[in-house]
Amino acid sequence: MPVVDISSSTPDFDSDPHSFYAALRAAGPVHQVRGVMPEEDPYWIVVGYEEARQALTHPDLLKDWRASGLYPDIEPSASNANMLESDPPHHTRLRRLVAREFTARRVEAMRPRVQQITDELLDAMAARPERSADLIESLAFPLPMTVICELLGVPDLDRERFRQWSNDIVAPRPEATNVDAHVQLSLFLAELIADKAKSPGDDLLSALIRTRDEDGDSLSPDELIGMAFLLLVAGHETTVNLISNGVRALLAHPGQLAALRADYDGLLGGAVEEMLRYDGPVQNATYRYAAKDVELGGVVIPAGSVVLASLSGAGRDPGRFAEPDVFDIRRAPGGHLAFGHGLHFCIGAPLARLEGRIAIRGLLERFPDLAVDPDGGPLEWLPGSLMHGASRLPLRW
């Protein structure tokens, strides 16, 4: 199979990855590509819905890069000791310990506080005399950042510094290295966890330090750092882009926006699911590594290959979704892969949905004439093929 070189289309890819995935999908569900990601060697991308679903659960597509042998020169940091970068039985153990504390009851108990934070941020927006603001700076970033920090019990976080570390991990700048951000964040979290161990609170991180299962098993110091790392980064980055991509989609489809305004109670839940399918925050699941030759969609992926399951590609597959390029908040919800599938299904999905629903409804109710600010300048897009979203979204009302 020929390698598809996409390096020449990178700028267009950042703004509109869906067209790229559609062109690939029309030629087949599985391809070897080179260009968007910084690896020297080609990698495999799975853009068909059924094939991506299979890839997300395939026992021979592993998540632990340390076991792949592909990156012998990279020294793992404590932040790598997390569920997302592990396989059974280690993953099973970590997930069980975290699930004991990160419960639906704990998430639901956050609802009043999520509403309060949202209201306060919208109050600040409404007080702006220029009647315009960047949605990401004003709401989409500070809401999930505040929520996850309070949930974990991270006081006085230098959010600008953390935001840069987080951005360098999920959408690295050319001058930044992913490894440096991992190391810096690991050191910060090690100090935080040491403080929590001495002075625990009623937050999630303190609970994870205390938790024991029936056999007395608990998280090691490095595992605590890895878990805090994963929850902090994934707990806000995805929701930032869920909110901003969702609002951008609504403003680009005034008929859908009007329908939602007319029936929040009936349509809001389905609208958020459609936002996740149509233009979800995560383009591609993080790397998987073929431990053996793996066949997907009639294509044999050789052992030792890097594989990406395309969540965005799957979300627009016409074999699974009728008129997939149409944004329809009345579409029957469910079936999308925006939160993954199988063992690594996002443990924070209920929290992301809660925040997305409260933020989007609050924004639309507060500003009936919300619109994209024509004087806000062109949108700048997050680079790379992990996250999809704009780094700014200027709005006016």
Domains of the chain are 4-396 (1.10.630.10)
| Residue 267, helix vs strand vs coil | helix
What does the pLDDT read at residue 215?
76
What pLDDT is recorded for position 397?
97
Q: What is the structure's pLDDT at 173?
A: 59
DSSP label of 63:
-
Residue with tokens 């039985």: 89
Q: If the chain, 397 residues long, is cut into consecutive pieces of 10 residues, what is the mean pLDDT of each piece?
A: 65 87 95 68 93 98 90 83 93 91 90 98 98 97 91 76 76 62 82 88 90 83 89 86 98 98 98 98 95 97 95 97 97 91 94 97 98 94 89 97
Say what the pLDDT of residue 40 is: 58
One DSSP character per residue, 265-322 reads HHHHHHHHHHHHHHH-SBSBPPPEEESS-EEETTEEEPTT-EEEEBHHHHHT-TTTSS
Please enumerate in sequence order all residues whose Cβ is within 8 A of that of 191, keeping only pairs 6 or more positions apart, or say none: none
| Coarse DSSP helix, strand, coil percentages of the chain, rounded to the nearest 5 percent | 55, 10, 35
> Quick one: pLDDT at residue 5?
67
Q: Beta strands 30-34 and 4-5: pairing type?
A: parallel
Instruction: Please tell me the predicted confidence (pLDDT) of residue 164.
Output: 78
The pLDDT score that the predictor gives to residue 292 is 95
